[in-house]
Chain A
Amino acid sequence: MRYTVSKSPSVDIVSGLDTSHSADQFSGPDLHGHFGRYGGAFVGETLVAAVEELDRVYQKLSKDPAFWAEYDKDLKHYVGRPSPLYFAERLTKRYGGAKIVLKREDLNHTGAHKINNTIGQALLAKFMGKPRIIAETGAGQHGVASATVAARLGLECHVYMGADDIKRQSANVYRMKLLGANVISVESGSRTLKDALNEALRDWATNVDNTYYIIGTAAGPHPYPMMVRDFQAIIGREARAQSLEEYGRLPDALVACVGGGSNAIGLFHPFLRDEGVAMYGAEAGGEGVETGRHAASLSAGRPGVLHGNRTYLMTDDAGQIIETHSVSAGLDYPGVGPEHAWLKDIGRVNYVPVTDLDALTAFRELTRLEGIIPALESSHAVACACKLAAGMSPDQFVVVNLSGRGDKDIHTVAAIDGITI
């Protein structure tokens, strides 16, 4: 049975999900970056050599324990890992079902999971001797995380950001500038994340010799989806160990929001072979999937090719990319990482749209009940988890990836409330 939004406690949402997969099925991608028919490296010829070089370097470094030792050291002393697994008791009571447990990525340095990835990729940039870093950003969290590692390593940093996102995430824009990054406003197309990605690809093609492109999510040409997943999988590895330690068993379900899919794949991946663990990816349902104004590419899109990979996309019948809508800039993206596309097709993960309204409700509830202001992106996961938990029994527990904190979003929420701050 697929996920339903019914709050009836009698609905057993978790059962019926086919998780009986063989172990080696999840060892992808193949050598050319394919997860089933998804993924690959669909880039212009100028960039092919660059992604191939990156793949070679990553293949080599990722087999080197010294590389991971340095990464782990940075995560511990600079990022502040491990992030806690926190039992949201009052939120759980409010829904009267399974325990809702939060994986607190919001407590990381810079306030989101994005830094796990930029720490890893910055080590690659350093190893490859690239003095110049570029990044795209939607909510600004990845831009901030990139500017942060660039400042720390003394690298030049340019962040591409859609003009509309610059407006709605002004606090993060200023943070990037403080960190010494050059924030470039992207005026083309829909002026959001996808256009920032296009512009970053153009920059990379132009400055390919001295530039390292830090993609902020588990999408793009191979090896990015694999590499970003590997850097974010620390979330799932920790959550798995913490679950066993604190609850004596694995969670009944995992929930994460899905923009490009990095925090979700980071949480999910270490659990993919655990048959009893159900998984839910919360996509941006915007004003409702039926209105067409959303960014739920897995729930309502179809396979196509964009930004270097074959994956589910928001595309019209003529193959043009459709403008997306979400209250959260970080989920406002018409594609999704290819591993999610594959996990959807094989039925291992359920992807469900969560509306702006439901996300805002969750935002307020978590704030008032737990004293935690979540990012609007993460609020989608919280909303999904609350509904899910309500239909489960109190002896079960759900781990929700609280991918980021909501400080960056207070202007957006205030504006919705009719308040100027």
Chain B
Amino acid sequence: MSRISKTIAGLQAQNKKVLIPYLVAGDPQKGLTVELMHTLVRAGAHIIELGIPFSDPSSDGTVIQLGAERALRQGTTLTDVLAMVSEFRRSDKQTPVVLMGYLNPIEIMGYEKFAAAAAAADVDGVLIVDLPAYECEELFSAVRPRGIDTIFLIAPTTTQERTAAICANSTGYLYYISLKGVTGAAIRDKSEIRDKIAHLRSETSLPIVVGFGIKDAESACEMAAISDGVIVGSALVEKIGLLPVQGPCSSAQLDEVVAVISSISEALQSLKN
């Protein structure tokens, strides 16, 4: 069982919801990312989605675009991102780390080289936003044998036929996109999400987590109530954007940034399963 599956199964056994923050690696300083990851774990994160910054994040809203721009101004590369995971692992052997990003940086590194480096860094999963299930075989056949989970997005627009193809290629968990749009937009139709997730349950036994548009304890609880957990991206990246782009940063400052995750974590604790 992968670290991701074990983590989620453990939480489910205790009737708990999964909380997954997303941050962009290298934002706003390369040297802060690992510390931020540890701070997030202390704040209640169960899994961390670490964004690989890309110059053209066409599925992301303004907040995460700006996060990627900050990280790229620091010169953050995919090699750096993998090194950050290695460093994080030195003192945290439990929390799964999922790399989330766009295909081109991986394509340029080379699929084999990436898969080997990700395994060596002890990455737990990959989610490539612009790699649809139909095109995934070449990369994922390099990644899977190394025990790395392959995670896919499912959108409100995903057809029945594609849902089946995605489920067949997914391991770890399914990431359900709560809305039609980009990251950071606002959730409009809760009952539609509930229906879709109910339908997904009949297709797969994978855990289903909901992301895009979760900004606070209230929206997190609403989404967690109808799924296995939530992903919080823009709301965190917005706060990270307030940190200094150079110079020292106190642990009090980091705690303040992750307060949004702590408050969601607390709210989820009180949620009855």
Chain B residue contacts of A306, Cβ below 8 A: 56, 104
Stretch at the interface among A4-12, A96-104, A166-174, A311-319: A311-319
Which residues on the A side are within 8 Å of B61 (C-beta)?
Answer: 202
Q: Are A318 and B182 neighbours in the complex by a CB distance under 8 Å? A: no
Does A305 sit within 8 A of B, measured CB to CB? yes
- Residue B242 is within 8 A (CB to CB) of chain A in the complex: no
| Contact (Cβ within 8 A) B104 A305 | yes
Is B185 close to A, CB under 8 A? Answer: yes
Q: Are A46 and B106 neighbours in the complex by a CB distance under 8 Å?
A: no
A153 located at the interface, meaning its Cβ lies under 8 Å from any Cβ of chain B in the complex: no
Tell me which residues from 160 to 204 in chain A have a Cβ below 8 Å from any Cβ of chain B. 188-189, 194-195, 197-198, 201-202
* Among candidates B79, B104, B153, residue contacting A315 with C-beta atoms closer than 8 Å: B104
Assess whether B191 is interfacial by the CB under 8 Å rule.
no
Return the chain B residue nearest A202 by Cβ: B182
Contacts A306-B56, A318-B79; A45 near B105 (Cβ below 8 A)? no
Of A20-28, A205-213, A230-238, which binds chain B? A205-213
**B253 interface residue, CB < 8 Å from A?**
no
Closest chain B residue, CB of each to CB of A195 = B56
Q: Is the CB of B135 within 8 A of A189?
A: no
State the interface size on chain B (CB cutoff 8 A): 44
Q: How far is the CA of A313 from the CA of B177 in the complex (A)?
A: 29
B244 within 8 A of A: no
Q: Does A128 contact B (CB under 8 A)?
A: no
Q: How far is it, in angstroms, between the C-alpha of A302 and the C-alpha of B152 when the chains are bound?
A: 27
Indicate the size class of the contact surface on chain A: 35 or more
- One of B37-45, B141-149, B154-162 at the interface: B154-162
Contact between chains at A43 and B104 (CB < 8 Å): no
A151 within 8 A of B: no
The verdict on A244 contacting chain B, using a C-beta distance below 8 Å, is: no
Q: Mark B47-67, 1 if CB is under 8 A from A, else 0.
A: 000000011111111100100
State whether A41 touches B56 (Cβ < 8 A).
Answer: no
**Given known contacts A42-B130, A49-B159, A319-B106, A205 and B180 CB-to-CB distance under 8 angstroms:** yes
Chain B CB within 10 A, most for which of A50, A198, A305, A321 = A305
B10 within 8 A of A: no
State how many angstroms separate the Cβ of A85 from the closest Cβ of chain B: 39
Minimum Cβ distance to chain B for residue A413 (Å): 30
Given contacts A40-B135, A43-B132, A198-B58, contact A208 B157 (CB under 8 A): yes
Could you tell me if B185 and A206 are in contact, using CB atoms closer than 8 angstroms?
A: yes
* CB < 8 Å neighbour of A318 from B77, B155, B185: B77
Cα distance, A128 to B107, chains bound together (Å): 35
Query: What distance in Å separates the Cβ of B173 from its nearest Cβ neighbour in chain A?
Result: 15
Contact with A308, one of B55, B130, B156 (Cβ below 8 angstroms)? B130
Chain A residue nearest to B66 in the complex (CB): A188
Residue numbers in B under 8 Å from A188 (CB-CB): 62, 65, 69
Name the residue on A nearest B76 (C-beta): A318
- Which of A49, A207, A321 is the one whose CB lies under 8 Å from B104? A321
Contacts A307-B58, A318-B77, A318-B78 given: A45-B65 contact, CB under 8 Å?
no
Chain A proximity of B55: nearest CB distance (Å): 4
In the assembled complex, the Cα of A317 lies from the Cα of B177 at a distance in Å of 31
Interface membership of A80, Cβ < 8 A: no
Check B104 against A44 for contact (C-beta < 8 Å): no
- Which residue of chain A lies nearest to B182 when distances are taken between CB atoms in the complex? A202
Name which of B79, B109, B130 has the most chain A CB atoms within 10 A of its CB: B130
CB contact list, A200-251 vs B, under 8 A: 201-202, 205-209
Q: Tell which of B54, B177, B182 has the most Cβ of chain A within 10 Å.
A: B182
- List A contacts of B155 (CB < 8 A): 44-46, 48-49
Chain B CB within 8 A of A304 CB: yes
A residues in contact with B268, CB < 8 Å: none
Q: Report if B129 contacts A (CB, 8 A).
A: yes
Best-surrounded residue of A44, A304, A305 (most CB of chain B within 10 A): A44
| A32: Cβ under 8 A from any B Cβ | yes
* Closest B residue, CB atoms, query A304: B104
Q: Does residue B241 face the partner (Cβ distance < 8 Å to A)?
A: no
- The answer to whether the Cβ of A420 comes within 8 Å of any Cβ in the partner chain is no
Give A312 Cβ to nearest chain B Cβ, in Å.
Answer: 12
Which residues A285-330 have CB closer than 8 A to chain B?
A: 302-308, 310, 313, 315, 317-321
Contact of B130 with A305 in the complex, beta carbons under 8 Å? yes
Cα distance, A320 to B152, chains bound together (Å): 23
Q: A198, B185: Cβ atoms under 8 Å?
A: no
A206 touches B182 (CB 8 A): yes
Q: How far is the CA of A417 from the CA of B11 in the complex (A)?
A: 69
- Contact, CB under 8 Å: B105 / A32: no
- Given known pairs A315-B108, A318-B105, the reply for A44 and B135 (CB within 8 Å) is no
Interface centre among A310, A320, A321 (most CB of B within 10 A): A320
Given contacts A198-B57, A202-B59, contact A49 B134 (CB under 8 A): no
In chain A, what residue has the closest Cβ to B130?
A42
| Residues of A with C-beta under 8 A to B152 | 45
Residues of A within 8 A of B62 (CB): 188
User: Which of B79, B132, B181 is in CB contact (< 8 Å) with A205?
Assistant: B181
Bound CA–CA A313/B109 (angstroms): 14
Given A49-B159, A49-B162, A319-B109: A44 in contact with B78 (beta carbons within 8 A): no
Which of B58, B105, B158 interacts with A320 by CB under 8 Å? Answer: B105
Option from B65, B135, B159 in Cβ contact (under 8 Å) with A42: B135
Contact B56 A194 (CB under 8 A): yes
From B57, B131, B134, B157, A32 is in contact (CB under 8 Å) with: B134
25 A-B pairs with C-beta separation under 8 A: A41-B134, A41-B135, A42-B103, A42-B131, A42-B135, A44-B59, A44-B129, A45-B153, A45-B155, A46-B59, A46-B177, A46-B180, A49-B159, A50-B157, A197-B58, A198-B58, A202-B182, A205-B59, A206-B180, A209-B180, A304-B104, A317-B108, A318-B79, A318-B105, A319-B106
Q: Tell me the B residues contacting A by CB distance below 8 Å.
A: 54-62, 65, 69, 72, 77-79, 102-109, 129-132, 134-135, 152-159, 162, 166, 177, 180-182, 185
Q: Which residues of A contact B (CB under 8 A)?
A: 32, 40-50, 52, 188-189, 194-195, 197-198, 201-202, 205-209, 302-308, 310, 313, 315, 317-321
- Enumerate the 9 nearest inter-chain pairs by beta-carbon distance, A residue then B residue, closest first: A319-B105, A319-B108, A44-B59, A206-B181, A318-B77, A49-B157, A46-B155, A45-B153, A198-B58
